[in-house]
Amino acid sequence: MGLVRVQVVITGPLKKNYRSKLTFDVRDGATLGELLSDSLKELLNGGSLRNDLLYLLNGVDAAVKGGEKAQLLDGDVLTIVPIAHGG
């Protein structure tokens, strides 16, 4: 098995904690959850995608692609957007 390269773009107030663009090499067949748990644990909630963040995989909500089980492919771009909840 080889490696695939995934770019992660972090937006909004989260940028202060990270560079706005990160690149990770993950094993071929890795999932979104594996990438996050291995590299960006604080962007998960107990191993699941956080409800206060929107995860876009190539511009599409990762939830419709399987959430944390979405398989990553070479050249994928994961964009993480904080969601502001109001009351």
Say how many Å lie between the first and final Cα of the chain, rounded: 48
Cα–Cα distance between 62 and 16 in angstroms, integer?
23
Place of tokens 């929107």: 54
pTM, entire model: 0.89
Which segments in the chain show pLDDT lower than 70? 1, 85-87
pLDDT at res. 87: 58
Residue 36's H or E segment, with its range, is helix 32-39
